[in-house]
Amino acid sequence: MNDPHVTSSAKLNRGNGNNTEKYAPAQSGVKHFDTEDIANAVNIGLCVVNAAGKVLLWNDWISKHSGIKETDALNQPLEQVFSEQISPAFLSALKNSLTHKLPVVLSTALHRTPLPLYHEFELGIQQPRMYQSISMTPLRSQHNEPCCLIQVTDSSTSIKREKILRSHSEILKKEATTDGLTDICNRRFFDAHYEIAVADAKRQKYPLAIFMVDIDFFKPYNDHYGHLAGDAVIKQVANTLKLQLSRATDIVARYGGEEFVLVMPHLAQDIAEKFAEKLRAAVFNLAIPHIKSPSFHQITISIGVCSGIPEKNDNLLNKADTALYQAKQKGRNQCVSISLCETTEYLEQ
């Protein structure tokens, strides 16, 4: 016998193997929530302004992060509600949305803090503004009045994450192009840079200077003073060479072991020779003791220089290396310079 107290909707789907009771949809036309209840429940800022710029809706989220009560904001011009300045970009975007009836999204990269909103608003306490993502959507009121819905979200976490990722990217990029011991460019970076520098010098017809630098008698120094002292010398020499550079286009790289290479565009041979001597003197003036150096009893360097306007088959690096070999053969602690017009066979005589 049917129970008269059980409605048909409650009996719907009984006997389907579970105890869940399913009810028919609510009767249409019944209002269950207020718009303000929903606006205040969401975890974003909601604000509606009319064509005159007056506030029609101001939810609890904005009140919390601005310190401005809803009663103080409603029916007031938005520009006058805040005691601090609203960014001109925000006001321009709002005007465009109301005028052209088109949605607008403010770029977080360009407009990070357009409204004076704070994570924890405290009156009289100076603090940085909250990073914000803002979108504007045109709509019409029940009185057919053009309005604009402004949605504000806290983008601080995403921007912090973006900064961390960018920082990690820069660190990885530096690690990929920087020598770990000396903090100057590494061989990988030099190889790529050298090709570009030569190609530019060929195309634009300007002289390019390459310097090959080697620490004299480094192995005896390493064997006598130890590897830690050897690493310290490599770092000191690298830093000294780097300090001599003054142009952004010039680079110094660790070529391998105790050997370095410098690339300097727009440097004619005579100027390159003078600069090589400056490099040699700078390291000599460090006066680092080296009792295993038979000639000088201190750390010195030998330098090979090649400068000129490269042509199709020219190899400045090979010729600079040959010049370095000549400097070693002539007694070390000196510079040997060659131009591109000189041949390897001539130098090796």
For residue 345, what pLDDT is reported? 43
65: pLDDT strictly greater than 80: yes
Query: What is the average pLDDT across 195-222?
Result: 96
349: pLDDT strictly greater than 80: no
- Mean residue pLDDT across the chain: 87
340: pLDDT strictly greater than 50: yes
Highest mean pLDDT among 26-30, 142-146, 242-246: 242-246
- d(CA 150, CA 207) in angstroms, rounded, equals 60
Query: What is the average pLDDT across 27-54?
Result: 85
271: pLDDT strictly greater than 90: yes
Q: Give the residue from 44, 56, 336 showing the smallest Cα distance to 211.
A: 336
For residue 28, what pLDDT is reported? 58
Catalytic residues: 258
For residue 5, what pLDDT is reported? 43
Chain segment 69-124, per-residue pLDDT in tens? 999 999 999 999 998 999 999 999 999 999 999 999 998 878 889 999 998 877 76
User: Left if phi > 0, otherwise alpha if psi is -120 to 50, otherwise beta: which for 18?
Assistant: beta
Least confident span in 94-98, 167-171, 213-217, 273-277: 167-171
Per residue in 81-101, is it b (16+ CB within 10 Å) or e — as a string?
beeeeebeebeebbeebbeee
How far is CA 98 from each of CA 136, 137, 186, 243, 317, rounded to the nearest angstrom? 9, 9, 56, 58, 65
341: pLDDT strictly greater than 80: no
pLDDT band at 159, cuts 50/70/90?
Answer: confident
- d(CA 93, CA 95) in angstroms, rounded, equals 5
Chain segment 219-229, per-residue pLDDT in tens? 999 999 999 99
9: pLDDT strictly greater than 60: no
For residue 7, what pLDDT is reported? 41
199: pLDDT strictly greater than 90: yes
292: pLDDT strictly greater than 60: yes
Percent of the chain with pLDDT over 70: 88
Q: Is the overall model pTM greater than 0.75, yes or no?
A: no
For residue 27, what pLDDT is reported? 56
pLDDT band at 333, cuts 50/70/90?
Answer: very high
Q: At what angle do helices 218-225 and 227-243 cross, to 10 degrees?
A: 130
List of domains in the chain: 35-158 (3.30.450.20), 178-347 (3.30.70.270)
347: pLDDT strictly greater than 70: no
Chain segment 117-126, per-residue pLDDT in tens? 998 877 767 7
Query: What is the average pLDDT across 214-242?
Result: 97
- d(CA 136, CA 130) in angstroms, rounded, equals 18
For residue 282, what pLDDT is reported? 98
- d(CA 273, CA 143) in angstroms, rounded, equals 84
DSSP state of 217: T
For residue 29, what pLDDT is reported? 61
Count H helices, E strands: the chain?
A: 12, 10
250/168: higher pLDDT? 250
97/28: higher pLDDT? 97
